[in-house]
Amino acid sequence: MKILVCIKRVPDTSENEIEVNRDGTDIERDDLVYSVNEWDNYAVEEAIQIRDKVGGKVTVVTVGEEEDEEVLRREMAMGADRGILLSDEAFIGSDGKGIAAVLKAEVEKGNYDLILTGAQADDGAGQVGGMLAAMLDWPYASLVNLIEVVDDKKIKVGREIAGGNQEMNEIDLPCVLSIQTGINEPRYVGIRGIRKVASLEIPVHTAKDLGIAADIVGESGSRTKRLDYFVPEPGEGAEILEGSAEEIIDKLIELLKAKGGIK
């Protein structure tokens, strides 16, 4: 099976406290730790497991800039067979639709059976996978937490729905799936693994290579625009307890007793 996994390099929310910059135009990007988007890492692990079971090839791809190459390499160290960087001045500032359009052009150059994306990335949109599927006219399933290969024409997928229940579907190949966390346990990637793939070449495909018109991507292709970033004020009820550790604990125990929190 030929599998393409779409990945994105994002500020790691479990390693950083994300703050708004001074004039509210962006987040504070100095000293940020970046990682591969958590959901995408599960998607790559799943692709590797499928390949190891039924054979085939795993390609990881990202739309980004030079520094985004590092996540491709990381996922190659994990076991992906190759990486592709889609990069062009024209892509900068693309919205989800623009990113999906770039990915679509790359998909059409290949001959893939299965495309995986993460369920969502850093801006919490959860849009690129569904848009890509619609542009390709391929079937789509979101929030996938189980994949079983039936044969080379179809697979069975579980979708995570409310209450921990799982919706089982059969879906024809080729298709696009968005992957939910918890579908597997992504393997650990050490420094040594990354060193091993350090010299592998990662091709860069530009707008011209992909035959993409500049006006459907980048800022000009986007109908949405961020005006500012801000942090809402704490809710009216949120009283932050202050004082020495001892004072805080005394106060808390008193409150908990009053609310029936200590039996």
Partner 1 sequence: MGQQIFAYILHKDGVADDTALELITAANILNPDASITAVVAGSGAELDAVCRNMGSSFDTVWKIDNEALAYINAEVIRPMLARILPKESIVLIPHEHFGMDLAPGLSIKLDAVYLPDTFGLSGIEDGKLKAVREEYLGQVSTHVLCDISKGAVISVRPGSFKADENRKIDGRIVDKSEEALESVLPGEARRYLEIVAAEVGDVDITKSDVLVSVGRGIEDQDNLEIIFDLAKAMGADVSCSRPIVDAKWLEKSRQVGTSGQTVKPKVYMALGISGAFQHLGGIKGAPFIVAVNKNPKAPIFQAADVGIVDDILDFVPELTDRINEMKRVSY
Ligand X SMILES: Nc1ncnc2c1ncn2[C@@H]1O[C@H](COP(=O)(O)O)[C@@H](O)[C@H]1O
Residue numbers of the site for ligand FAD (CB under 6 A)? 13-14, 119-120, 143
Q: How far is the CB of 114 from partner 1 (least distance, A)?
A: 13
- The residue type of 101 is A
Contact 73, 83 (CB under 8 A): yes
Closest of 16, 74, 32, 38 to residue 190, by C-alpha: 74
Q: How far is the CB of 245 from ligand X (least distance, A)?
A: 40
Residues 209-228 that bind partner 1 (CB under 8 A): 223-228
Residue 37 touching ligand X (CB under 6 A): yes
Q: Which tokens hold the place of 203?
A: 């091709």
Residue 62 touching ligand X (CB under 6 A): yes
Contacting residue, 1, 6, 147, 210, with ligand X by CB under 6 A: 6
Per DSSP, 218 falls in state T
Q: Tell me, rounded to whole angstroms, the distance of Cα 231 from its chain centroid.
A: 23
> Which of 89/254 has CB closer to partner 1?
254
Residue 126 touching partner 1 (CB under 8 A): yes
> Which of 19/172 has CB closer to ligand FAD?
19
Residues 224-263 that bind ligand X (CB under 6 A): none
Closest of 62, 101, 131, 69 to residue 211, by C-alpha: 101
Instruction: Give the alpha-carbon dihedral of 254, 258, 261, 262, to 10 degrees.
Output: 60
Residue 126 touching ligand X (CB under 6 A): yes
> Which of 13/169 has CB closer to ligand FAD?
13
Stretch of residues binding partner 1 (CB under 8 A), selected from 15-23, 51-59, 72-80, 194-202: 15-23
Residue 244 touching partner 1 (CB under 8 A): no
Q: Which tokens hold the place of 1?
A: 């099976």
Residues 25-44 that bind partner 1 (CB under 8 A): 27
Contacting residue, 121, 133, 183, 207, with ligand X by CB under 6 A: 121
Residue 64 touching ligand X (CB under 6 A): yes
Q: Which tokens hold the place of 80?
A: 């992906």
Contact 113, 1 (CB under 8 A): yes
Q: Which tokens hold the place of 81?
A: 């067979």
Contacting residue, 23, 31, 66, 163, with partner 1 by CB under 8 A: 163
Contact 198, 207 (CB under 8 A): no
